[in-house]
Amino acid sequence: MKLVFATHNANKFREIQNLMPDDIELLSLSDIGCDEDIEETGDTIDENAMIKAEYVRNHYGYDCFADDTGLEVQSLAGAPGVYSARYAGEEKNDEANIEKLLSQLEKRDDRTARFKTVIALNLKKNQNLFTGICEGVILKEKRGTKGFGYDPIFLPDGFDKSFAEMDLNEKTKISHRGIAFRELMEYLSQ
C-alpha cells in the first residue's frame, strides 16, 4: 500500500518512517510533486490535520494522513496551541518560538504543559482521527540537541531527560506523535 504523509517537515517524516511497517510505502509531499505549503487555516489542531489530508486527496488523489501538533501550556490558557509552529512569527523559527515561550513563563510557577498530536487519515474515501497526548512541564532553559521544535524545553512526566536529550526511538515510545501514530498503525493493521 502507498500512503502519503502530508508534511514538508523532514524531522517529522523521519520519525514516522522509522515506525512504518514494511508493507506500507510511505511517500512524502515531495515524492508526489507537492511543493506548495498547505495553509493551516483551522482554529484547532484537529481542523489543521483534516485540511492537510483533504488537500492531498483532492489535489493529488492519494490515500494519505496528515498531522498537526500543538504545545499547550496550562498557565497560558493553552497557548501556543494551534499556533505553536508560528508562535513568534510566520517564519516558523524554532529558536524564536522557544525564546518567546520562555520569556512568557519567566515569572510563572505553573509550567505544566502537554503536547497534542492529531493525525487525520484519508483512506478509501473515509476519514479517521487519531490523537496522542504527552503530559509534561516546560523547563527553564534548553537541554539537549536532538529533536526539533520545543523538544529542548519539554520534559515529559516521569522522565529526567527533555525530548531533545532522547534518541529517536526513546522519544517515539512516549511522544504525542508516537502515541497517535501507534493508534493509526493499529487501525491500518485491522
How many residues does the structure list for the chain? 190
2 Cβ contact partners less than 8 Å away, ≥ 6 residues apart: 24, 25, 27, 62, 63
Grid coordinates belonging to 41: 487555516
- Rounded distance, CA 156 to CA 141, Å? 15
Give yes or no: 63 in active site: no
Residue 140: helix, strand or coil by DSSP?
A: coil
Where in the chain does DSSP place strands (E)?
A: 2-5, 25-27, 64-73, 80-81, 112-123, 126-138, 154-156
Q: Which of 68, 94, 110, 167 is catalytic?
A: 68
Positions marked catalytic: 68
